[in-house]
Structure 1
């Protein structure tokens, strides 16, 4: 095998980086309730954690900047009379959160201003709800805010209904009657549709404002729970579930079709549910296994999920939350951040970054993302209006200013497109195409210098003819200058610098000069040209053999790195980072 094709992607080298224990959130009492939810929800300011509390249900809110070991007694968000099963932050108000409980209630809470867990009070005051929404007759398992409309909340209950609430009015505006218990739900980017998975093993896409399913079809055949997540503004959604043989699966669906695009993809045979999370700005899907410590991530391209990499940890997670894109650290090239539970005692942040050394804003890996402004109001949405929320440009965040909005109808021209704002950097994206020859840069430079030296030596010998003899040498030189750079004119001036008198004839008629017969005026001109051409031919053949040998060496090193990765497995962080450095060096050598 002479070489290996590698798919071009800006996110191919994204890697997850764990956090030292002293920078985690420690001394927690995470709920041990067996209900299948994520246990943790995050926004750029706070973490919400389902709490193991006595005397009714409760959850805790932790400011993200208060890391380390928390006090033994902290203020809790109390009000439910049974265990809290799920929470969700309002996407347009970082201080407003909804909770669902085993007591059949949905409650709304507002985080107090300057809220902290590190106060001086021996008995910190608990926080109580600002609104109670009572319309379900059995436990409420999931709550999820509409991603486009302001103050629209969906709640799924064991009474086989999904209520859609106008939070501002405090009433249930719509009711979706579901045939069986809902296991997961996910909104489309515009908030028009809702996809659900159910205990009856069927997938349903709901036209919410019509209060009816727009499509119903079979899902994963396994008996265990399945999850669904809408792929943002794409007309697709993804599901995770199990096969009849209890293999974990991933599937991509188009609404209206009963069969997944490309079929069901088996992942492994681990028994824990895969929790999916979608990053709409980067078109990346993250799968976190419940009960294992691994997080896979894929890039969506051409109706396929292209595997990028996998974060591995010996510490299993029961719950996990992903930060909204507007909360990532753009100065460290962070494209996503997760918060995983560890041993029901502490929460560890996992940072996913693109390894680059540049000290300037990397516009190509930060397309615009949804900000803090809704697309439509609750009343407009209920009356039938649809609108996407405006996006923010990350360069304004990088510069330390207020987020700058880009048009609400922004559409990337292709997957992983650069921001719509005109910038010179995105125009460099087509460059990977000319890199097909995969010639090692050092060998090519040696070849160019050697040929230039021969041409210069021939010129110094004093050949009288200033047309045909120069052109016979220059044509092979032009071929050898192709591999080093996609721009063909950059490497040509090197040989011309040795003999400036030749540049007019080189630019005027190279084709005619090549076809011209050897000069007859000089007695030694013809044989000398033939001798020089023969030397150049032999040199090119030698260099070609060297290039081939180095290509084989690259393949050997690639195989060796792959073998090391398999043997290291879930080894130390230093070993994994060393392997990634080797991969980067090999990639630079190939390009």
Structure 2
């Protein structure tokens, strides 16, 4: 029986198309910071882009529909005292975004559905725990309010954003700078890459490395790793001769790669974006002017080249729309937001189909905005796959949902780490004397507020008399 030369795949003819000029976002001063993050995050409601800002770090948030020229006075999200290095939308609340900065903090922000008049300067919560810049953020895929951060202090911290507490701190696993971190589909494992050239699979709740591979790519330049639907690890890196390379690995047998392909000699780090529904991986190099895409299957050679989308201008960064934000009526299977120096341009990936009917094979049920677990359930050892939704009738983002932060009682805060003090009067509950002093202060403040109230009332009455007199 003769073997078919052409591999059958419904994604063989996927093609990319840049949006028309009026669908782009113009006049945005994209950040010039040299950092290997995507500088852009997008969800079905908003587009967020890290921008140049004097006196600290900032990013801009635009409603998706607000295309065209961006007003130079459009409010920014400002609060960091140094450049913002990474941003990530919460997968379970389209109005919540986290930002990480050179100032060692992570801030979590609530973005209103309306466009605010002024800069947003007050985060819902500021997370402080890293001692050096924080350059990587990644929300947990299935547990509510669980956020991972990785800093240049070589530490990974997993936070409960709902309380501001550190759930887990992985501080002795990476001897050098962490280049990338990725959760698997149910958030039970992490894949990390590090400057020491080691690819690690970590069980964060056990605090142990369950598998590792030294020099998955032999070059010194940064490597990236992500989990595939099949549980394999897809990596991008460099050969010893500085050629870009991609690899596919089975974490149960890290000795030999499942696939290893050399690509080209460009020096931009390849940012991989993966769609588990179609098992297509898109590679966007910083400084490249193309997006290459591959399909990962169970048949050799396992990573199948599909096509390349090319344009004239190099990309400064790239945003990747979650599946629920796509237009199913146009057979759109991916959408990118490509950052230029002064604008952001949507790029749509489409499977050409003649029918107007819903294409079940292109759109299996996909992760929706409902979390499958609470933070404490995940921490206690439970795992759950994402809660799936159908895209048959299109996806309509829910209305504004507020993230409520319940800070633990300040009196319950653990003592600072360091030499243990012996149990003394200082450690006991508040003394009678301190309580009395606090009550006196509260009483004085209450009297002050009442006096100010009376003064405001008197001034308002005077103003009314003046207005009446001029009529």
Deviation at 1:397, TM superposition (A): 2.3
SS at match of 2:262: strand
Distance in 2 between residues matched to 1:109 and 1:300, nearest whole Å: 36
Deviation at 1:401, TM superposition (A): 11
CA contact (8 A) 1:217 1:257 kept: no
Do structure 1's residue 190 and structure 2's residue 186 form an aligned pair?
Answer: yes
CA contact (8 A) 2:197 2:217 kept: yes
Distance in 2 between residues matched to 1:188 and 1:319, nearest whole Å: 23
CA contact (8 A) 2:78 2:119 kept: no
TM-score with structure 2 setting the length: 0.81
SS at match of 1:261: coil
Do structure 1's residue 128 and structure 2's residue 122 form an aligned pair?
Answer: yes
Deviation at 1:115, TM superposition (A): 2.6
Match of 2:294 among 298, 304, 308: 298
Distance in 2 between residues matched to 1:401 and 1:236, nearest whole Å: 31
Change (3 A) 1:21 1:301: same
Do structure 1's residue 363 and structure 2's residue 357 form an aligned pair?
Answer: no
Question: Corresponding residue for 1:336?
Answer: 334
CA contact (8 A) 2:217 2:239 kept: yes
In structure 1, runs of 5+ residues without a counterpart are 403-591
The structure that is strand-richer by fraction is 2
Question: Corresponding residue for 2:253?
Answer: 257
Change (3 A) 1:352 1:166: same
Match of 1:282 among 278, 293, 304: 278
Runs of 4+ more than 2 Å apart: 124-128, 256-264
Aligned residue pair count: 392
Distance in 1 between residues matched to 2:133 and 2:356, nearest whole Å: 51
**Post-superposition CA distance 1:426-450 (Å, at most 9, x none):** xxxxxxxxxxxxxxxxxxxxxxxxx
Distance in 2 between residues matched to 1:103 and 1:311, nearest whole Å: 37
CA contact (8 A) 2:249 2:258 kept: no
SS at match of 1:364: coil
SS at match of 1:228: strand
Distance in 2 between residues matched to 1:256 and 1:30, nearest whole Å: 41
Query: 1:262-273, aligned counterparts within 5 Å?
Result: 262-273=258-269
Do structure 1's residue 145 and structure 2's residue 135 form an aligned pair?
Answer: no
Deviation at 1:126, TM superposition (A): 3.1
Query: 1:9-88, aligned counterparts within 5 Å?
Result: 9-88=9-88
Question: Corresponding residue for 2:309?
Answer: 311
**Post-superposition CA distance 1:290-310 (Å, at most 9, x none):** 111111111111161111111
Question: Corresponding residue for 2:221?
Answer: 224
Distance in 2 between residues matched to 1:98 and 1:270, nearest whole Å: 31
CA contact (8 A) 2:297 2:303 kept: yes
Deviation at 1:135, TM superposition (A): 0.6
SS at match of 1:363: coil
Query: 1:420-459, aligned counterparts within 5 Å?
Result: none
SS at match of 2:251: coil
Change (3 A) 1:83 1:237: same
Distance in 2 between residues matched to 1:230 and 1:19, nearest whole Å: 30
Query: 1:161-560, aligned counterparts within 5 Å?
Result: 161-177=155-171, 178-218=174-214, 219-231=216-228, 233-302=229-298, 304-342=302-340, 344-397=341-394
**Post-superposition CA distance 1:258-286 (Å, at most 9, x none):** 33533421011111111101101111111
CA contact (8 A) 1:30 1:51 kept: yes
Moved more, 31-40 or 300-309: 300-309
**Post-superposition CA distance 1:321-354 (Å, at most 9, x none):** 1100011100101011000111x20011000001
SS at match of 1:386: coil
Q: Higher relative contact order at CA 8 Å, sep ≥6: structure 1 or structure 2?
A: 2
Question: Corresponding residue for 1:517?
Answer: none
Deviation at 1:254, TM superposition (A): 1.4
SS at match of 1:349: strand
Distance in 1 between residues matched to 2:3 and 2:274, nearest whole Å: 33
**Post-superposition CA distance 1:543-583 (Å, at most 9, x none):** xxxxxxxxxxxxxxxxxxxxxxxxxxxxxxxxxxxxxxxxx
Distance in 1 between residues matched to 2:236 and 2:347, nearest whole Å: 22
Deviation at 1:311, TM superposition (A): 0.5
Distance in 1 between residues matched to 2:142 and 2:166, nearest whole Å: 18
Deviation at 1:125, TM superposition (A): 3.7
